[in-house]
Structure 1
Amino acid sequence: MKIILTSEVSGLGAPGDVVEVKDGYARNYLLPRNVAIRWTKGGEKDVEQIRRGRRIREIATIEQANDVKAQLEGVKVRLKVRAGNGGRLFGSVTPADIVTAVKQAGGPEFDKRRIELGHPIKSLGAHQVSVRLHPEVTVKVGLEVSAAK
């Protein structure tokens, strides 16, 4: 099945890319999560609009990505959240929370969709978060989650 990606999907492509995937993967995963739309002749018009929006948000060159990477590596990110006894959080830490914490720590601004969480952060302590700045540049950011008083 031919689809148009509306969000970045690891290992598949970026917004605006037209890709061919198995029918079941598109029907059961990509389309219900609104990360892709079916390809149609009319949908081709949407591709340019998606790509234009992507260019505005995107870190265009590897040099820019490396600059942002250098800024992120020098930032100590601390996040205070509500937690119960035993260090378990009420809910979990979201990518939007992480972006806000990075900004408050004096780091650069970037899109929350760039953050890749391998698993939900639901406990206090130190965690590693992966940020994909460019298809070729990924940085690990240290995140210290502590209890709010």
Structure 2
Amino acid sequence: MDAQTAQEECKLFLAALESYKTGKMTPLLKEELKYQIQSRRLSEGRNELTLDLQADMTIHDQLEHQLRPEEIERIETRKEQNRNAAQKLRMKRKLEKDLVLKEYVELKKRNSVLREEIKRLSSEKEMMTMIMKNMCQEQIVHVTEPNAGQTSTKK
């Protein structure tokens, strides 16, 4: 095995290791795609592609190489703070949602109770109205009868 093949296998192994660590297939797929393109070019008789290592690095990798350790630590601290703040916000929204749902259920129950009271009061009003009508009719009949309530003293 020549040095170039060993180097390519090492790159492939590192890409597989990165894929395993991050849980993403992108690094491994990128390496495999490079090898396929390279082998196709060589089979067609064209020159081998050369890769710019700086262009191959992700923006995150480039930033890490340019930053001092304390800057990297500060970035990581900010990321952690951001994760914590996001988690706190999600919990707060969940609690608010639960409170709104609880209030909704309580208001729905209260509405039901009030509607039942409306029905009860309406029927009570109708009953009272009927009683009042009957009493008024009795008084009208009582007043219109000429001798109602009078006893005769003649013998």
What is the TM-score with the length of structure 1 in the denominator? 0.26
* Greater length-normalized contact order (CA 8 Å, ≥ 6 residues apart): 1
Bigger CA radius of gyration: 2
TM-score by length of 2: 0.25
Q: Which has the higher helix share?
A: 2
